[in-house]
Amino acid sequence: MRRLPLLLAAGALALTGACQQPALAAEKVVEAPAAQRTAKESGGLKTAIFAGGCFWGVEAVFSHTKGVTSAVSGYHGGTQRQAQYKLVSSGVTDHVEAVKVTYDPKVIRYDQLLRIFFSVVIDPTLKNRQGPDRGPHYNAELVPVSAEQRAVASAYLAQLKKSGKWDRPIVTSIEPARTFYAAEEYHQDFAAKNPRHGYIVRWDAPKVAALKRLYPGVYRSEFKRD
C-alpha cells in the first residue's frame, strides 16, 4: 500500500478536515430518480467537475463508471499558490476538493453522472461536510462547465427537491466554473493504489459497491486509471 509522504501525512492527520477521520455512522444510499431533462451533448469527449467531500471516493466511483475516460482529483477555486493538500485540508483556503471527470456522452450522459453522484457519492442534505469530514472544503457542489450542463443540473436539482427521496432539504448547490488544480500525484487513483487503506475500506469501497448494485449497466469492474 502506498503511504503518504511522512511529513504530509503527519500534518494531515493532525488536521480536523483531512480525509483521515475515524468511522462514524454508515452513509445512506438513496436511489435518485432518472432525470426528466436528459443531456444533449454532441461532439467528442466532455468534462464536468463534481465536488462531493473527500475526493478519493468521488474519483473511485467515477473511475468505475463506463464511459468515463478520466477522473482527476483536485482543488476547485481558490488560488494556484494555495492549491496544495496541507493548506486546503486545513480549511483556510477558498478551494473545495473536487474531481474533474472526462466522459464520452455517447456512452454515458451528464444527467446519468448526476444520478450516480446523488445516489451513491454524496448526501445532498449536508452542508460543508460529507461522511466523517467537516469543513467548507468538503462541501458538495455541482460545477457545470457548459450551458447544457448547467441547464441539466438546474432541472435535475429542482426535480430532486420535489422527489421526496430525502428526509431533509437538499442543500447541494450549483457553482460557477473556476480554475481546477490537479491534486498531488499520490492522491490520483488513490483507492486503486490503496485498497486496504482504512478510509477507503470504510467510506469509499461501499460507494463503489452501491454503484455496482444500483446501476450494473454502467458499472465497470476495472478502475480506469489516469
The DSSP annotation for the chain comes to -PPPPHHHHHHHHHSTTSTTPPP-SPPPP--PPPPSS-----SS-EEEEEEESSHHHHHHHHHTBTTEEEEEEEEEES-STT-SHHHHTTT-SSEEEEEEEEE-TTTS-HHHHHHHIIIII--TT-SSEETTEESGGG-EEEE--SHHHHHHHHHHHHHHHHH--SSS----EE-----EEEPPGGGTTHHHH-TT-HHIIIIIHHHHHHHHHH-TTTB-SS----
For residue 101, tell me if it sits in a domain. Answer: yes
Q: What is the edge-to-edge ordering of all strands in the sheet holding 173-174?
A: 173-174, 140-143, 46-52, 95-103, 68-77, 180-182
The HSE-up count of residue 94 (CA atoms within 13 Å, CB side) is 8
In a domain, 60, yes or no: yes
Catalytic residues: 54
Is 70 inside any structural domain? yes
Q: Is 195 exposed, middle or buried (0-12, 13-18, 19+ CB in 10 A)?
A: middle
Residue 210 within a domain: yes
Give the pLDDT score at 20: 62
Please provide the distance, in angstroms rounded to a whole number, between the alpha carbons at the two ends of the chain. Answer: 18
Burial (CB count <10 Å: 0-12, 13-18, 19+), residue 199: buried
Q: Looking at residue 110, which CATH number applies to its domain? A: 3.30.1060.10
Residue 172's closest CA among 207, 122, 132, 136? 122
Q: Look at residue 25 and tell me if it is in a domain.
A: no
Ranges of the chain whose pLDDT falls below 70? 1-18, 20-26
**What pLDDT, in 10s, does the model give residues 104-162?**
999 999 999 999 999 999 999 999 999 999 999 999 999 999 999 999 999 999 999 99
Is 86 inside any structural domain? yes
In a domain, 175, yes or no: yes
With 0.85 as the threshold, say if the pTM is over it: yes
- φ/ψ of 39, rounded to 5, equals -80, 140
Provide the residue range defining the domain that includes 180. 42-214
Quickly tell me which residue has 432525470 as its cell: 35
pLDDT score of 3: 34
Domain count of the fold of the chain: 1
- List the grid coordinates of 124: 445532498
The verdict on residue 220 lying in a domain is: no
